[in-house]
Every structure is written in C-alpha cells, then in structure tokens.
Chains A and B, each alone.
Chain A
Amino acid sequence: MPVVTYRDALNQALQEEMQRDDRVFLMGEEVGVYQGAYKVSKGLLQEFGEMRVVDTPITELGFAGVGVGAAMVGLRPIIEFMTWNFALLAMDQVVNSAAKMLYMSGGQFNIPIVFRGPNGAALQLSAQHSQAWESWLAHIPGLKVVAPGTPYDAKGLLKSAVRDDNPVIVLEGEMLYNTKGEVPAEEYLIPIGKAALKREGEHCSIITHGKMILVALQAADQLTKEGIRVDVLDLLSLRPMDVEAITASVRKTNRAVVLEEGWEIGGIGAQVVDYIQRECFDDLDAPIVRVHQVDVPMPYAKNLERAAKPDVPKTIAAVKKVMYLDQ
C-alpha cells in the first residue's frame, strides 16, 4: 500500500472529489497561486482553474458567508481556514448560517459545505494561535465534526465530508501534515459517526481523537512493555459521536482515560465521560480520568508549553491511576 503524507492524503481527497463532481470548489486564503499555506491544495489551481480554486482576501467572515450562499444555490464549497484560530472571525457564518439554515428554512435549504483547516497547537505559536476548538464546534446542532489523526482517516473522512449534504467541520493539524501513513490506491470512504479501535487491549480504554491519537498510541506502546494492554479508541467523529464503540470498549476494560488536546472545562472529554457514566455505570471499576491541556492560555516559552500540553507521560500516569497502580 502506498505511504503518503497527511498533506498529500488531503490533496488526493480534494482532487478526487473535484474530479468526481464539478459543483465542488475550494475557497480560502492562499489556496490558489500560493498552493495553500500548508500546500494541501498543491496543483489544484492548475488542474481546475480559477473558478474552482478561489483565492480570497483576509476576510474569514466574508468568504465563509460566500460559501454558505453558494451552498444554498446548489454548489458544494470547501472553505479552507488557514487555521481554526482565524476561523473565530467566521463563527457567525458557521454557527448562525451554515448550521441553522436547514432548520430555519423549514427544510428548504441544505448546506452541503465543508469548513476545514488545522486545529490546535503546533509549536511555540503562543496563546492566540495554539487553540483546539472542537468542543465549541461539536456543541452546535446542525454541524458535523470530524477530527482525523492519520493520512488514511484524513482522506476517507474529507471525501465523506464533501459528499455530505450538511455542513461538516474537518479538523486537521499543522503538526500532522508531514506525518506519513498507508493510504490505499483505490477509492474508499470513512463513514462520519464511526469510531475506530486503533489498538486492542483488555486493561483500560484510552479514548481520544485528532492528533492525540499519536500520543495515545505511543503511550500504549510503552504500557505494553510493562504488561499493560489498552484499547485505543479513535473517535474520528466528534458529532455525531460513536457511543456504541465507546461503551463496547469500556464494558470490556472497566476503565477509561479520555485524552484530548484542548482544555478541561466543557471539553469533548467531558461529553465522552458523560456517555460512559450513563451507559456503563455498572461496568466501571474506577473513576474515569481525563488528560487535557492545562487550564491556561498556551504559554510561548518552550518549557512551559511542554508542561501545558497533554503528552505521553501524562497519559501513562492516567492509565496507571485508573488501574490503581499508582498507590
């Protein structure tokens, strides 16, 4: 199977979907002539022309709104945000227009739109540019939210997002674009709403999503050396969330660690914990432990940034805590 980068997997998805359906077009800052701030749209302007690969001014609210309008009249826009930190300016269009149009038009207007871009922290980008927004976005009825952490998942989920008749948020990662993984040469889709069990074990479930899947798998590898085998469940979709997969894993292991990139209060992990306590109360042998960013704006200093982020040692410590091995 070919090994490609996360960046190229997304590029393949865009290219294939634009070839398949000429209503699909890409719009955003630097997506055309510059070939994408992270080169995700490399070669698309040359193949599809200016009408379908549209460079915009630095106006997130404006081009998000143009995208919603285009979707209302039958096109299938893909809106790239250079990062989700910049997308804060576009939230009104995402939340109030895209997410609600079908409902408020009494079912007249589907909004088949994709909003995509890197989410969360990279390295030393400081407080305003190192934020994970999935709990904001997954909070909104009318949006679907996916967070692929591998090239395979990125391609399959982006293609499903483009084909979905409703607004789908695709959360990528700046630190993920260069990561490599196997991606089949033949076409495939990954259904929105299904989680994937990336590692199987019987002692504890690590439930995570997005780039934290890489942290979870590293933690799982180290724990295996100590004889602790964990389930690593990659949620992939945050809304709708695969509650069945979560409960199946926790019922098996009786313990859960919920790992996410963002902050604690009102985080995605809080929702996962809620599903677990509702569905698996009698299966729990220990309180669930969450691993997340420390409750501060992301520090710029390298040592402080490292201390603030969730990482492998914190995840391992959490697993040992729920297994009562930390006493």
Chain B
Amino acid sequence: MATKVVMEALSPTMEEGRLVKWLKSEGDTVAKGDVLAEVETDKAVMELVARADGVLRTRLLDEGQTAPVGQLVGVIGAPNEDIAALIASQPAVASAPGAASAAAPAVAAPAIPAAPAVVAPPPTAESAARPTRLGNAAPKHQEPPLPPPSTEQAQHAQDNGGRPRSSPLARRLASDRGLDLQQLHGSGPGGRIVKRDIEAAVATATAQRPATAATPRREAAGDFADVPLTQLRKTIARRLAESIGPIPTFYLTSEIDLTRTAEMRQAMAAADTRLKVSFNDIILKAVATALARHPEVNAHWLGDRIRQFNRVHIGMAVAIDDGLITPVIFDADTKGLGDIAAESRELAARARDRKLAPEEYTGSTFSVSNLGMFGIDQFTAIINPPEAGIIAVGAVEDKPVVLDGAVTVRKRVRLTMSCDHRVIDGATGARFLQDLRRMLENPLLLVY
C-alpha cells in the first residue's frame, strides 16, 4: 500500500511551507521516521519525516517551491507498485516561490491541520506482533506501537467532526506537554490516540532536542491566576484603546547605574572564565526576579480577564536575517545566572540557524529586547500580545553623573518598559521598574 507524503503543519500557525531541500532522492529506500526534506515554515526550518517504510517513489515538489499544508508532495511505496492513481487522486500543484500566499488558497481548500490523517502508513509486521510485546520486557515503558492504517483514522476523524479520536487521558497528557493531537497518530481502535502514543511522541521529541536546549513547559493549573475585570478596569481598557491603537501602550524609561553590576561581572570572569556572563544575562535574571515579585506585570491581557502568571517565562527577542524571533527562557526566575547565560547563547544561536522548535518560541509571559550592541541609547519596543509588557535595553556606556555632589564616571544603561495600560497602570509599572533598578544597582540582591 502506497503512502502519501504531504506538506504537514509543522508549526502551530503554519498554512503553507517552502521545500528548502530534499534529503532523499527518488528511488531511495526510506524507513519510517527518516527525514525526507527540510521545510521552511512561517517560523523555522523544520524536518518533514517519512510516515512509512518503503521507497521514495516520486517527489512532486521542487526545492524552493511552496505548497499549502495537506498538499501531496511525494509518494512512498513498494518498488513496483502502481502509484499513478494515488497521484491522480490529488494533483500536486505547487506555486512558484514568491507567489505562494496568493496561490495557496486557490490550490486546495483551507488545509488546516486535519491533514495528518492523509498520511497513511501501512500495517507492518511489528504491529501484528504487538500483543506479545508485553511478554518480553518491563511493560511500564512500552515500545511505542505502530500507528494503525490511518485511512481508518481519517475516516473516524471525519466522523468526529474533524477532531482526532483520543482518550481523555491522552488529551490531558497532550495538553500538559503542549502536544497538538492533530500531529499525532493514534494506535488505538479506530485510530484513537492513547497514552502510549503520547509517550512515544514525547520520547521522540526528547530524543531530538539537543541536550543543552531549554526545557519548554506549558502552563498548568496553578501556574497563573485569572483576575476578573472590574468595571473600572473595563472602562480604562476601552477608553485607552480608543485613544491609541488596540494596545494602549505607554512607556517608562529609567537610567540605571550598572557600575556595581560591571564590577561583579568582572570579578566573576576573573574568578573563572566559565563564569563569564553578559550584561544582558544579568538584566534577564534581574527582570525575571522582579517579575516573580510582580505578577501584576507578569501578565497577559485576555480580553475578558487578565491572567497573572506565577511562573516567569521570558521571551528574548533575537534578530535573524529576515526578521526576529523570540525564544523563551522558561522559569527564568528559578534559574541561575550561569544557566541563563548558557541557555540564551544556545537559543540565540539556534534561532539564527532557524532551528527552534515551535514550543521553544511560544509560551512567554513577558519579553526583553536589547539593541545595546548596536549602540542604541534607548528605544521603545513593541509589545508582543497578549503579553502586557516588554523591556527595551539600550547600550551600557560610561557617563558622567553627579554623585554626592561631584561629577564621576559611571556605567549606565537605559531601560524602557512598554506597558499595556489595560493591564499595567503607570504606578504599577513604575514600582516594578523601581524594584528592577534596585536589583541591578545592588546586584548582590540577585544572589539572595
């Protein structure tokens, strides 16, 4: 039985993908899980993997071309199998590079994620052997079973209003781990996604993630508190939004003395080269610590309520060749400076290589952007909704300042916080910045 290779939804918001590079040639033998091609999504370059064993019989999309999610881009089958009918059943029309977004809607009906169901791995010997699997080894950690023929799954998914069938436990586990059920294959009856499928997906994801990578976590109950809107808060939100854009933003700037932070940084580097951290790392750590004390700032505007987070996940804006992306340092308030330094370096590097997984750039509760390395003194950053604030970091510079009645040279930096006024009032933001300033000017407070 031949298996279609389709453009899969490789990011939560992906509607089409550009085939960057084929890694397998026509005629190559492929195994389930082998990487067939690199695909550029709206966020990153991701891997398109084989969903069945066999031979890659044909490639229907050229490198550089774009196809909507769900589009047939290849076929895996037995060497002599007739695949003409399969191809004919879904003509592979690819748009030229550049014309992608205009052409996509016309090519196929909105190919939103019901698509994985189109992938149809054939049953194999392994699935037939499954019932005896438990007899061989400790069954608590079962080998991930093979998905059943998912044409059946597709049929059932359609019966189910397009939602994949799944057990309540599987839904809960998927939600806890931030997995999209649409991306998973169910091994239960009728293609039902069950616990072992989630475990298999988690095992795969863990195996693929570099050891140094961040550990993204999804929000669980207890990680935040939803604050209902008072009438006053509703009025503030409505009136201010009428006045200035959908996000009524105001800006607070504070010039902070980093002299002692600079001394600490030098002392650390002198003590051990492995303790080298940047000003930005220290600022990230200070922001995280301050956010942990100010949940009213570490918040999202959700339209009908404000969500205040008890955990601190900082989005760190990173410039890449053709835009920017915001990888997340999860639970930054609980991490040491060294961890933050290592993680931010590693995330930034992979962001520039466009190798971030979607869960690594979603889920932030607050953001920090830094243009100091470009010599920018101060700037205002644009809020990344639904977050309520972002801090823009300028250059750290030697400046003459008046201290105890005398002019001396000090290290100074300007931080500007953009605040969503629907969530953060002027005094609220100012108190937060005050705390942040106190920490950065007395960096030993970070140790405590």
Contacts and interface: CB of A to CB of B under 8 A. Distances in A.
A324 B167 CA distance: 12
Query: Which of B137, B148, B188: most chain A Cβ within 10 A?
Result: B188
Contact of B130 (A202, A284, A286, A325): A325
A34 interface: no
A282 B171 CA distance: 8
A285 B167 contact: yes
B170 A285 contact: yes
B350 to A, nearest CB: 34
Contacts of B138: 227
A327 B169 contact: no
B161 interface: no
A202 B140 contact: yes
Nearest to B194: A285
A285 B192 CA distance: 10
Contacts of A324: 187-189, 194, 196
B131 A325 contact: yes
A254 B198 CA distance: 14
B257 to A, nearest CB: 52
Interface string B128-146: 0011011111111000000
A282 B166 CA distance: 11
Contacts of A323: 134
Contact of A286 (B136, B139, B194): B194
Nearest to B127: A327
B4 interface: no
Contact of B169 (A226, A284, A326): A284
Contacts of A228: 134, 139
Interface in B139-191: 139-140, 148, 167-172, 187-189
A327 B148 contact: yes
B169 A227 contact: no
Interface size, A (range): 10 to 19
B134 A227 contact: yes
Given A254-B195, A327-B130, A286 B135 contact: no
Contact of B167 (A227, A284, A325, A327): A284
Nearest to A223: B134
A323 B139 CA distance: 11
Interface in A66-84: none
Interface in A177-194: none
Contacts of A39: none
B202 to A, nearest CB: 15
A203 B194 contact: no
Interface string A267-306: 0000000000000011111100000000000000000000
Contacts of B171: 282
A285 B166 CA distance: 8
A202 B194 CA distance: 16
Nearest to A286: B167
B429 to A, nearest CB: 39
Given A228-B139, A324-B187, A324-B194, A282 B134 contact: no
Interface in A21-77: none
A203 B169 CA distance: 14
Contacts of A325: 130-131, 133-134
B139 A227 contact: yes
A327 B189 contact: yes
A306 B138 CA distance: 34
Contacts of A282: 168-169, 171-172
A327 B133 CA distance: 12
A139 interface: no
A285 to B, nearest CB: 4
| B137, B168, B170 interface centre (most CB from chain A within 10 Å) | B168
A280 to B, nearest CB: 9
A227 B194 contact: no
Interface string A203-219: 10000000000000000
A320 interface: yes
Given A286-B188, A324-B194, A227 B168 contact: no
A202 B134 CA distance: 13
A319 to B, nearest CB: 11
Contacts of A227: 134-139
Interface of A: 202-203, 226-229, 254, 281-286, 320, 323-327
In the A-B complex, the 7 residue pairs with the smallest Cβ-Cβ separation, listed nearest first, are A285-B169, A227-B134, A285-B195, A282-B172, A285-B167, A227-B139, A282-B168
17 contacts: A226-B135, A227-B136, A227-B137, A227-B138, A227-B139, A228-B139, A282-B168, A282-B172, A283-B169, A284-B168, A284-B169, A285-B167, A286-B194, A323-B134, A325-B130, A327-B148, A327-B189
